[in-house]
A and B are shown apart, each in its own frame.
Chain A
Amino acid sequence: MDLTSEIERETLVVTVNETRIDASVAIQFKDRMRAETNNEFPRIVLNLGKVEFIDSSGLGAIVAAMKQLGADRKLELSELQENVDRVFKLTRMDTIFRIHAKPEDVFAN
């Protein structure tokens, strides 16, 4: 599970360099997210622009990644592809996460 992080304007942007977050890698994803976010950044944006497919296990792993940050830190999402966006909408998880359609939206306002 290849994740890379960049710091921009006090935000940690974690990019998923994989095409799938599915049941076979959900635990790895959660563990890698714990490692990438083992710091003090209050705001983390998970860039899913390369992810073509997510299933309910992958969705659960993103929720787990959010919860393991604790109450004072936020996880936001960006650049959801069509199939990923569908799963968030069907499960109404799009109401739980702040989702940025385009990269420039992440730092708007």
Chain B
Amino acid sequence: MIRKIFHSKFSEIILVYLALFIVDNIFKFNFITLSVNPYWAVLLFYAVRSNITTHIISLSSFTTVFFSSVYFQNIKFTFSNAVANSSVLAISTLIAMINETRIYRITSLEISLSEKEKEIENLKEEIQKQRIFIEELKETIFYEGEGISNLFLKLRELPVNDPQEFYQGFLEIISDFFDINKLSIYRLNRGFFRFIAGKGEPILGFSFRIEDSVVVKRAISEGFSSIRNLVEEAKPESLVGEPWAAVKIGDEEVYGVMVVEDIKPSKLNKTYQKYLMSMSAWLYSTMKKLESMQSEYIRQHKLEDGSYDEEYYKKEFARLKILKEKYSLPFSVLCICVLKDDIKEFLSNFRTDDVPFKFKEEKDRVCYKILLPMCNEKGKERIIERIKSRFEGVTLCEDI
């Protein structure tokens, strides 16, 4: 601060007055008694050019040299000298005050400008809000007009004999209708959300736990959740890899979840939330019916040891093959032989959706082909590693 002062206008002012004072004393001009006083030029110059703080410094310097001149040069100045000096001093102060007023007005205008900029920002925000609101209204008008009735007509035409086909069909119709680029459906099974319908590799994987996604976690507790709701509460880095939105499937019990992976952010509004939730309710009731029909069919093909008959295996194989071709949904076939004593424990290691089929039986061991839906090569490798580490004498068909 002090350094700044010494390198500033203040030091310049002091030096100018000092220089004049020295010249005045050496040559005995008696500046302050002259009708054209050189000190006045400096005083008026700084008053005109700078702000009032500079003028005060200039005025102080003027006062110092004025009274020093009176003292050192023993000047007896006349009444007219005093009046002339006083008048110039008064004029310089008046000029400095006018200058200061201009500076103050400029500062005030700068603040007003900042205020106006803030107002513009607020108005822009308001416009954006209104736009979203208008969009929502438009969508409401569309859905509550012919949109929703058309949607239900399409959904009623979905095949119910094949649940997988039904889910995929449902997903396609919903995605198309709500303009969702990517949507997946998961079913809760033994604490894991397992992928049952969707297109391609889902961002949450084919299986995940509730703790793995904050959006899904919130959707399970509140029915619906989107990144937009969480962005103010959670840290931004914690939302990386999260889906745009999720809708719970189920009422009091959690049945599954619909995960919106790709959508235009502007679409995530309350109208969407409302209709997606009603779609999920419809899906929930249909899923329950389909699954009860499916479980009856499965029971007919299930064997005592927990595996399935060949007919069921072949049918499932064909179905998964079609899904893979149509929707790029992966599946794997694991061919493995295990000791007879370990059969029960061995089969309990698989998911309820997996389809084990006993194709070969020897004296002390049995060989199974197991269909692993929604499981790619990596998943298959992991399962093999797990089985090998748990059971001795396990051999893969290729190793035989």
A, B co-complexed: no
